[in-house]
């Protein structure tokens, strides 16, 4: 797949403050050999050390963002004109959603510069619906010269509304580094780990109810959004944004990673589980089954009964547990060979 043109200077525009940060860092790492130029929000100046970068001021509050949007095209024109004067031929990469991606794509279209846009979620999730976000993204898609979807599932959502396009391609979520390998053996009393933002569609209610009849412990690690889950005798809640070291420690000290989502476009957490070579219980929703073969995880229906039965099998069938652990290690080796 020809995603980048190595004869051109790659310019990565990442203006989000936290959204899809891990994904963007991994994409930039993969492009390191081409020495990309990064255009970042000042909030991320510490996130990309040892890279050539410039900063583009953004605003966190909606009112300020809206007010400055009236002038942002002029700022972008000036910034990009200077970059083109220095590097001549460039290719623009927009790896994560930001409202001002639209203006960068508009500049690229006007100046006949290749612009690659990544779509993580074509439709916003339940409880986080945003008509404005979806409309801005559609307008940016129309301007981009290449559009990457992380799953065929999301690509088909776009095609259903926009129609097919030769510029639509699927490039699956790269592995995120776990910084640790899970070497824990099978346990009849496993520790379960839920990792990531705690929002309604992640299905935590399914696993919390499912474990009531099981001899397991559950750690819920991630920042809560519109939820209020507290620790109990068997449930440990870490309500915070986690550091890489904290994530690594959690992945190394729990036997089973649970992804009980009720809907999903794709999952970066799933790729962390692959990197850490963990046994995973995952619901059969959205694009998740495109990320991992059927025989490399415990796939279940998105229901309390489905999650409970899957966990019981992992607890009662040591051979099944051990086979999943072997399978996911093999998948990891294969995925690590995939490059941009």
CATH value at residue 321: 3.40.50.2000
Q: What is the pLDDT of residues 45-64, one digit of tens each?
A: 889 988 899 999 887 666 56
The DSSP symbol for 224 reads: B
Strand pairing of 114-119 and 37-40? unpaired
Number of domains in the chain: 2
Place of tokens 């309500």: 239
- Between CA 290 and CA 149, with CA 327 as vertex, the angle to 5 degrees is 20
One domain, residues 145 and 276? no
Q: What is the pLDDT of residues 63-116, one digit of tens each?
A: 566 666 778 899 999 999 999 999 989 999 999 999 999 999 999 999 999 999
Q: Is residue 324 part of a domain?
A: yes
Nearest to 217, CA basis, from 71, 103, 315, 320: 315
The DSSP symbol for 295 reads: G
One domain, residues 155 and 221? no
Q: What is the residue range of 267's domain?
A: 191-336
Q: Is residue 292 part of a domain?
A: yes
Alpha helices in the chain (DSSP H): 21-30, 62-69, 72-87, 101-110, 131-143, 152-162, 204-210, 244-252, 268-275, 304-316, 318-336
One domain, residues 17 and 162? yes
One domain, residues 161 and 201? no
pLDDT of 265 reads 96
- Enclosing H/E stretch for 218: strand 217-221
One domain, residues 148 and 231? no
One domain, residues 282 and 160? no
Enumerate residues 6+ apart whose C-beta is below 8 A from 164. none
From edge to edge, which strands make up the β-sheet containing 191-195?
235-238, 217-221, 191-195, 256-259, 279-283, 298-300
For 249, the token pair is 């420690």
One domain, residues 37 and 129? yes
One domain, residues 82 and 206? no
Q: Is residue 272 part of a domain?
A: yes
Q: What is the pLDDT of residues 285-318, one digit of tens each?
A: 999 999 999 999 999 999 999 999 999 999 999 9
Q: Is residue 323 part of a domain?
A: yes
């Amino acid at each position: 797949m020809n995603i980048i043109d190595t004869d051109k200077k790659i310019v990565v525009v990442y203006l989000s403050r936290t959204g899809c940060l891990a994904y963007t860092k991994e994409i930039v790492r993969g492009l390191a050999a081409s020495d990309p130029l990064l255009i970042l929000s000042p909030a991320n100046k510490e996130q990309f050390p040892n890279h050539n970068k410039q900063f583009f001021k953004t605003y966190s509050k909606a009112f300020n963002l809206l007010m400055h949007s009236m002038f942002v095209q002029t700022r972008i024109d000036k910034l990009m004109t200077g970059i083109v004067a220095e590097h001549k031929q460039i290719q623009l990469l927009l790896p994560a959603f930001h409202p001002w991606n639209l203006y960068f794509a508009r500049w690229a279209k006007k100046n006949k510069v290749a612009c690659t846009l990544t779509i993580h979620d074509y439709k916003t999730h339940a409880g986080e619906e945003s008509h404005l976000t979806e409309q801005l993204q559609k307008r940016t898609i129309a301007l981009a010269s290449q559009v990457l979807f992380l799953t065929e599932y999301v690509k088909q959502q776009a095609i259903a509304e926009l129609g097919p396009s030769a510029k639509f391609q699927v490039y699956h979520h790269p592995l995120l580094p776990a910084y640790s390998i899970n070497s824990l053996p099978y346990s009849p009393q496993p520790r379960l780990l839920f990792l990531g933002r705690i929002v309604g569609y992640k299905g935590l209610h399914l696993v919390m109810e499912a474990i009531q009849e099981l001899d397991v412990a559950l750690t819920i690690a991630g920042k809560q959004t519109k939820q209020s889950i507290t620790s109990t005798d068997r449930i440990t809640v870490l309500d915070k944004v986690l550091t890489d070291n904290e994530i690594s420690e959690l992945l190394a000290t729990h036997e089973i990673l649970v992804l009980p989502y009720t809907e999903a476009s794709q999952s970066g957490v799933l790729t962390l589980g692959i990197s850490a070579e963990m046994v995973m219980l995952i619901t059969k929703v959205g694009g998740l089954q495109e990320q991992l073969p059927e025989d490399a995880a415990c796939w279940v229906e998105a229901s309390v009964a489905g999650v409970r039965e899957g966990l019981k099998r992992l607890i009662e069938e040591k051979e099944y547990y051990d086979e999943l652990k072997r399978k996911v290690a093999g998948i990891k080796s294969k995925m690590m060979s995939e490059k941009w």
